[in-house]
Structure 1
């Protein structure tokens, strides 16, 4: 990751933008409502899950719809971004074999296209804040912080698993199992207080837990994130992204042998 590495990134930034725009257009192609689905989808899922869990469980959570929605958006972004990044090299194999391109452009583009969809989805939270008449404080202006931490973390994981998927195709199936387990290990639709002590320790090792909690504190509770909160989330995001880039750079030259 020297200066030349970043010079190449800057040189191909136009291609990166085109790939991101292509992914977004493909996602909503032939859809009547188009980009509105970025708002409708999380709202509809939130409504269904909130209704079910309101009857099945009695969680002591004020403003449960927004509590649920804030967790959903972060987790769904991570799930979609890393899933797309994982297959990006495999699906771009024919192009990689024909033309020289920085290969990290492909998982990065898939992650950024998912991040763009996440930004569209924030309108759903805005609508729910208005609908539920939730008090909004100036702290809400800090909402980009946890989103950036989630982006860094997703880029890192996406890079790592895109490499693994090239060499070990079973990863395409195993990762779905991992995401299901991760969903239940992340307090999306339940409060961490309902878990036994040993389970709390496990959940607290989950980077998404800390990112989601920061997002909720800012948007729902109007709490200013502490220095410790930022250090934890930044460390997870930055370290994962650095490791991902190093792993990717080390293995990328051999991709053509396995595509």
Structure 2
């Protein structure tokens, strides 16, 4: 059963590729700088927030600029990919009503196009590393691990929100509020150590916290993440994907009645 699903999805790989390219073309259509915005956006936001939080609020963190931009790139990908994927089914209603296409392709294509954009944004992280004299070591070869885990986690969340949004259109409005709250519950621009003890347990329930920590261990702290953190990130990411897949498969049978 699983193999047949994989075979069907494989047969639609050309369509998936075309959807990803279409999303990328639409995103940067008529833009003078084009893909350079994937690099410039996190750098400009990092400069602004570094000034605010290093000099006004005075978060005393070593290499705050690098700490901040890692959090920005990671969270922006999750927010952008899941928000975009939420429109994947509803936005392709006309095509789904005309021909048979595996419905999972649409949220998947949105996540993959956002992932390509994030890979461009990763260049900004390396620029900050060079500017702030952070040594580029062999430990960076471990980066594909958190990148894969982040992709898997985001796909799991995307499958959930894209399927629920078909039945519950208020999701399009509520999810923006949710991602804003999620950003404050993720240590993007503030250190975990300043959080009061009674609120730390809430942050520790945030699965994205551990994946973000994995990135910072490799890039910022120049250390190999512990086995415990690695296992936890794998469990969090693939559990989210499994739950998302089950919910999507359960709800997809009646999509055509609601889109």
TM range (shorter): over 0.9
After TM superposition, the runs of 4+ consecutive aligned structure 1 residues lying more than 6 A away are: none
Runs of at least 5 residues in structure 2 that lack an aligned partner in the other structure: none
Q: Determine whether 1:66 maps to 2:98.
A: no
Cα pair 2:214 2:225 within 8 Å, conserved: yes
TM-score computed with the length of structure 2 as normaliser: 0.98
Cα pair 2:111 2:158 within 8 Å, conserved: yes
> Which deviations, in whole Å up to 9, do the C-alpha atoms of 1:112-139 show, x marking residues without a partner?
0000000011110111111111122211
Structure 2: distance between partners of 1:83 and 1:63: 31
Structure 1: distance between partners of 2:4 and 2:168: 30
Structure 1: distance between partners of 2:211 and 2:21: 27
Please identify, of 5-14 and 106-115, the stretch whose mean Cα deviation from structure 2 is larger. 5-14
Q: Determine whether 1:135 maps to 2:135.
A: yes
User: How far 1:181 moved relative to its partner?
Assistant: 0.5
Give the number of equivalent residue pairs: 259
RMSD over aligned CA atoms reads 0.9
Q: Which residue of 2 aligns with 1:227?
A: 227
Runs of at least 5 residues in structure 1 that lack an aligned partner in the other structure: none
Q: Which residue of 1 aligns with 2:192?
A: 192
SS at match of 2:45: helix
Structure 2: distance between partners of 1:136 and 1:199: 35
User: How far 1:2 moved relative to its partner?
Assistant: 1.6
Q: Which residue of 1 aligns with 2:173?
A: 173
TM-score computed with the length of structure 1 as normaliser: 0.98
> Which deviations, in whole Å up to 9, do the C-alpha atoms of 1:160-219 show, x marking residues without a partner?
111110000000011011101000000000000001112111111111110111101101
Q: Determine whether 1:216 maps to 2:201.
A: no
